Amino acid sequence: MGTKYQGSESEILALNAWIKMKRASNSIQNYINQSLENSGITITQFGTMEMLLHLGPLPQKTISQKMLCSPGNITLVVDNLEKAGFVQRKSNPGDRRYHLIHLTKQGQILVKRLLEKHVKNIVSAFSILSENEQRVFSDYCENLGKHCETKKKESNQ
């Protein structure tokens, strides 16, 4: 069951693709997040720690861009993670406009523990697609994302 919008075939196609993408995204997110229930940390906090684990110490700007949220939001997220002892702001003498956010040993232990179930859930979510279908799907998403970024820049000129 897709859109009820009365339009041309190409319109119906695109509207259905978009609504199904949103619903799928939502269902996947809800399913995956079960691995964070009762962990006491939020998705954004987990995403931040996961990033630091895999990419090493980062400035908040980078975190906010990759997490797709505002810098102000990351300030709060890092504040809370720092209070809990999972990350640490360390000064960066080379450029004093920003600090580098480091994962603490305690944060590393937590995120590694949660990551195991998290990855299992993602693999399980996508297992309905064959490996080749997953590759095709990734490519489609990549193309859609790039295309929209380009079009958005164009229209903002």
| Other residues' Cβ atoms within 10 Å of the Cβ of residue 31 | 13
Which parts of 3-130 fold into alpha helices (H)?
9-32, 43-55, 60-66, 71-83, 105-126
Residues comprising the chain, all counted: 157
Q: Is 38 in the site for a copy of itself (CB under 8 A)?
A: no
Shortest distance (Å) from residue 114 CB to a copy of itself: 13
When CB distances are held under 5 to 8 angstroms depending on the partner's kind, the choice from DNA, a copy of itself, none that residue 78 binds is: DNA
* x-marked contacts with DNA along 40-79 as a string, rule CB under 7 A: --xxx--------------xxxx-x---xxxxxxxxxxxx
When CB distances are held under 5 to 8 angstroms depending on the partner's kind, the choice from DNA, a copy of itself, none that residue 59 binds is: DNA
Identify the residue whose tokens are 């797709």.
68
Among 85, 112, 113, 137, binds a copy of itself (CB under 8 A): 137
Q: Which residues of 1-12 are buried (b: 16+ CB within 10 A; e: fewer)?
A: eebeeeeeeeee
Q: Which of residues 24-43 bind DNA (CB under 7 A)?
A: 42-43
| Other residues' Cβ atoms within 10 Å of the Cβ of residue 60 | 20
Site residues (vs DNA, CB under 7 A): 42-44, 59-62, 64, 68-80, 89, 95-99
